Amino acid sequence: MDEKKEDKSEESKKNHMIYYRSLTKIITNMKNEINQEGEPAVKEHLTSRIDAIEKDRKRIRDLFPNTKKEEWDDNTN
């Protein structure tokens, strides 16, 4: 099977950064929901979703290894 070549242009980086930051917000919201939730099955489900999102965030960081952590975490854009 052919592996898709990832676009590593500046435009792609910009779009990935926006997406990465949106994932960060989703994770924060899910963690807040976990803290408020009483049902163990719901907590487990949310935790597994957070794990999957973290894998996607890692994939994005790996696409642009020269990007500093501060750039990923910058929420000014």
pLDDT for 31 equals 94
| pLDDT tens by residue, 47-72 | 999 999 999 999 999 999 998 888 88
| pLDDT tens by residue, 10-60 | 899 999 999 999 999 999 999 999 999 889 999 999 999 999 999 999 999
| Cβ(24)–Cβ(57) below 8 Å | yes
Domain borders along the chain are 20-64
> CA-to-CA distance for 9 and 56, rounded, in angstroms?
19
pLDDT at 2 over 60: no
Q: What's the pTM?
A: 0.80
Q: Structure tokens of 26?
A: 């989703």
Residue bearing the bigger pLDDT, 2 or 72: 72
